[in-house]
Every structure is written in C-alpha cells, then in structure tokens.
Structure 1
Amino acid sequence: MKRKTKWANIYLIVVFIILYTPIFYLMYYSFNSGGTMHHFEGFTLEWYEEVFHDTRLFIIVLNTLVISLLSAAISTILGIFGALAIYYVKKRQMKNMLLTLNNVLIVSPDVIIGASFLILFTIVGIKLGFTSVLLSHIAFSVPIVVIMVLPKLQEMSPTLIDAARDLGASPWNVLTKVILPYITPGIFAGFFMALTYSLDDFAVTFFVTGNGFSTLSVEIYSRARQGISLSINALSTLIFLFTIILVIGYYFINQRSSRPGGLGGRK
C-alpha cells in the first residue's frame, strides 16, 4: 500500500513539474532586461510598465473582465434553473437525454462550437463583437454550471423539501430558503468555473470577435504571431496571478460555506 502511495506521489510531482515548468519559465523571463528568452541579462520591470501604459490593452482587459463577469453571472442563473429542471424530471430516459444534451457543448471541440456560433450569428444578423462574444460565452458556460450544481441537488434529502412544504412554505420560499442555501457551494463552484472558462477561452472567442473588439486571449495570440515580445510574458504572468487569486478566493468561500453558520449553513 505504501509503495503504491509513493508511486502515486511521484507521478503527481512529475505531472505538476511538466505543467508548471513552462509557466515559471515564462514568468522568469518577464523580468529579463535583455528582451529575449534565451539569456537572462538582468532584472527589470520594463515589460510590466509597457503593459500598464498600453491604453489599448487596458481597454481589452476591461472588455475581457466585463464579458467574463457578465457571462458567469448570467450562465450561473440559467445553470441553476437548468439543474433544477433536470433534477425534477421524473422519467429516467428524459433525464438522461437532457444530461446528454447538456454535455454536448462540454465535450464538443471548441473549433466546431466557434464555427457553429459564427454561422448562427451570421444567419441571424447579429453583428460580431461584444454581443456575439457574450452570447457564445454564456452558451458554453451554462452546461458547466449545471454540472457543478446538479450533484449538490442530488445530495439534498427530499425530506427537507417535504418538511418545508408541511410547514406551509410556498414554492418560492422552498426555493430561496431551503434549496438555494443548500446548493450554495455548487453555485459558487459553477460561477468561478464559468468565470475562469470565459477568461481562458480562445478558440470560440476567436471565431465570434469582430473588428474593433478583442479579448485578452485573442490579443495575446495576435501579439505572439508578430514575434517574441516580453510584454506578452508580463501580460501572461499577470493573468496567471489573477487566476491564482480567483482560485484562492473560491477556496476560502467554499471553506466558509461548508462551516455551520456560513454560506448555506445553519443560522
């Protein structure tokens, strides 16, 4: 048993090294005064200053944050009702079919999803830009929220709802006073997952962005094609640190919500 645990730990260490070494390499050279990623000549914050003084980049960052927050909020609301709809379906075949349809956007290649949205927006007449990006991000984020919320609903004992109804609670009170507080950890998990997916998405966004509108992922790709610039390293480092802050924030919120008296706990 100890030998299996040892090999499992070694495997995890190797995986993390493979995953994080390129990221730390990129971060390390974001402080290089030499302007290349081949030889570290000296420490500098020049590339970070260049990022912070780039007005166009600042607008793109705002676009990305607005898109991510809006899409995460809207998809969380839609995902909650979607999970509730699937949960209350009594026929097993219908429930499995709905779950399968929900998972289509998760397992489908991003290129196909992006191309499909591009064709749809072109046919409908929606101009490519803020609206098209927002709608596409909401579309692929809703299934993620459903997947995060549904297990919490399945964990909930039906007797809680029956007891609330026996005490005279209306359907609205059952939803707001019993169900939502219980599934709060799943809601926060879905929101943060939708937020990070939106921040990270490139393939779908690349298809549905129009002239004059861009997000960070598309901008980084465009700059990388023009050649090596350590401002890309600096920008990528800032995005990585922001993601770490989101993960830590989600961890503390989840820890708080799991305690009695916390979010979704006893009051």
Structure 2
Amino acid sequence: MRNKNGFANLYLVLVFAVLYAPILYLMYYSFNSGGTMHEFKGFTLEYYREVLQDTRLMIIVINTLVIALLSSAMATLIAIIGALAIQRVRSRRAKNTLLSLNNVLIVSPDVIIGASFLILFTIVGVKLGFTSVLLSHVAFSVPIAVLMILPHLQEMSPTLTDAARDLGASRRDVLTKVVLPIIKPGIFSGFFMALTYSLDDFAVTFFVTGNGYSTLSVEIYSRARQGVSLSINALSTLIFLFTILLVTGYYFLNRRKNRPAAPLTEPAAEMGVPR
C-alpha cells in the first residue's frame, strides 16, 4: 500500500514539475538584467517598469479586464437562468440532452468555436472588435458557469421551496431569499471560473478581434512573434500571478458548498413569515 502511495506521489510531483517548470523558468528570467534567457547576470525590475510604463499595453490590460468582468457577469446571469431551467425539466432524457449540449460547448476545440463565431459575425454584419469579443466570451463562459451552479441546485432539497410556498412566499421571494442564498457559492464559483477562462483565452479571441482592438493574450502572441523580449516574461508573470489569485478565490468559495444549507427558519424569518 505504501509503495502505491509513494508511486502516486512521485507521479504527481513529475506531472507538476513538467507543467510548472517552464513557467518558473520564464518567471526567473523576467528578473534577468542580462536581457536574455540563457544566462542570469543580475536582478532587475527594469522589464516590469517597462511593462507598467507602456501606455498602449495598459489600454490593452484595461480592455482585457473590462471584457472579462462584463462577459463573466453576463454569462453568470444567463447561467443562473439556464441552470434553473434545466433543473425544472422533469424528463430525464430531455435533461440529459440539455446537459450534453452544454458539455459539447466545453469540450469543442477553441479553433472551431472561434472560426464559427468569425463566420457568424461576418454573416450577421457585426463589426469585429469589442462587441464581437464580448459576445464570444459570454458564449463560451455560459456552459462553464452552468456546470458550477447546477450541482448546488441538485443538492438543494425541493422541500425547502415547497415549504416556503406553503408559508405564503411569492415566487420572487422563493427565488431571492431561498434559492439564490443556497446556490450563492456556485454562482461565485461560476463567475470566477468564467473570469479566469476569459482572461486566459487566446484561440477564440484571436479569430474575433478586429484591427485596433486587442486583448492581452493576442498582444503577447504578437510580441512573441517579433522576437524574444523579457518584457513578455514580466507581463506573463503578472498574468500568471493574477490567475493564481483568481483560482485561489475560486477554491475558497468552492469549499463553502460543503457547509450545511441554512435551515428554512432563516429564509422564512427574512420574508416575514412566522416560524
């Protein structure tokens, strides 16, 4: 048994080493005063100052954050409605069909999704730029948010909503004071996962980005094609650290789903219903 555990731990260490070694290598040389990724000559923050003083890059950072926040908020709102609709479907076959269609969008290659959006926007006449990027990010973020929210709905006992209705609560009160508080961890988890995917997406964004508008992922790709520059290392390091913060926030929010649901007496008290 110990040998199996030791082998499993060794395997995990090797996997993480393969995944994170290139990232750590990139981060390490972002502080290299030598200007190359071959020999570390001294510590410097020059490339980080260069990134922060680049006005065009800061505009692109703002564009990326605006797109990520707006698309995540819109996707989460749509996902709440979608998850509630899927949960209310009585037929198991119909529910499995809807879940399968939702999952197909997650496992589909980004290149196909990006090309499909490009064709769609060209046919419809949507100008490539802010609008096209926002719509595409909302579209591929919705299935992710649905998967985060739906398990919380499935774990919720239907007797809670039935009891709230019996106590005189309206549909709006049931939704806002019973259902939403219970699935709140899933909502936040879905939002943060959508935010992370939006910030990191390249393939879809590359297809739907027009002239004069760019996001960080596309900008990094464009700069990397022009040659090795340690400012790319510094920028990538900042993005990686920001993503780590988002994932950490998602982890702590996701832990809340293990807490027991609030008793019915609390929502009932909030609605003014006597216990």
TM-score range normalised by the length of the shorter chain: over 0.9
Task: Report what 2:237 is aligned to.
Answer: 237
Classify the secondary structure of the residue corresponding to 1:50: helix
Most deviating of 248-257 and 191-200: 248-257
Structure 1 distance, partners of 2:203, 2:241, is 22
SS of residue in 2 equivalent to 1:184: helix
Counterpart-to-counterpart distance in 1, 2:14 and 2:185: 31
Shift of 1:246: 1.6
Structure 1 residue 248: Cα displacement: 2.5
Name the SS for the 2:34 alignment partner.
coil
Preserved CA contact (<8 Å) 2:86 2:95: yes
Counterpart for residue 134 of structure 1: 134
Stretches of structure 2 lacking an aligned partner (at least 5 in a row): 268-275
SS of the equivalent of 1:56 reads helix
Contact 2:64 2:216 in 1 (8 A): yes
Identity %: 77
Q: What secondary structure, in the 3-state scheme, does the structure 1 residue paired with 2:181 have?
A: helix
CA distance in 2, matches of 1:254, 1:97: 27
Instruction: Give the match for residue 110 of structure 1.
Output: 110
| Further displaced range: 243-252 or 34-43 | 243-252
- The total of aligned residue pairs comes to 264
With 139-148 and 6-15 compared, the bigger mean Cα shift is at 6-15
1:44 counterpart SS class? coil
Q: 1:31-57 deviations in whole A, cap 9, x for unaligned?
A: 011111111111111111110110000
Higher mean alpha-carbon deviation, 245-254 vs 103-112, is at 245-254
- Calculate the TM-score normalised by the size of structure 2: 0.92
Map 1:14-25 to 2 at 5 A: 14-25=14-25
- Is 1:175 paired with 2:175? yes
Is it true that 1:215 corresponds to 2:215 in the alignment? yes
What is the rounded CA distance, in whole Å, between the counterparts of 1:174 and 1:224 in structure 2? 52
Give secondary structure in 2 for the equivalent of 1:6: helix
Q: Distance in 2 between matches of 1:87 and 1:230?
A: 49
8 A contact 1:156–1:182 mirrored in 2: yes
Q: Distance in 2 between matches of 1:208 and 1:180?
A: 34
Residues 182 and 261, structure 2, Cα contact 8 Å, conserved in 1: no
The answer (yes or no) to whether the contact 1:185–1:258 under 8 Å persists in 2 is: no
1:145-194 Cα shifts (integer Å, max 9, x gaps) = 01111111111111111111111111111111111111111111111100
Q: Say whether the 8 Å CA contact 2:121–2:128 is kept in structure 1.
A: yes
**What amino acid maps onto 2:217 in structure 1?**
S
- State TM-score, norm by structure 1: 0.95
Deviations 1:88-120 (A, max 9, x none): 001111111111111121011100000000000
| Letter of the structure 1 residue corresponding to residue 233 of structure 2 | N
Per the TM alignment, residue 250 of structure 1 is displaced from its structure 2 partner at its CA by 3.0
Counterpart in the other structure of 2:33: 33
Q: Distance in 2 between matches of 1:223 and 1:125?
A: 30
8 Å Cα contact 1:117-1:136 kept in structure 2? yes
Task: Assess if the C-alpha contact under 8 Å between 1:117 and 1:208 holds in 2.
Answer: yes
Measure, in 2, the Cα distance between the counterparts of 1:56 and 1:11. 43
1:251 Cα deviation after fit: 3.3
Partner of 2:271: none
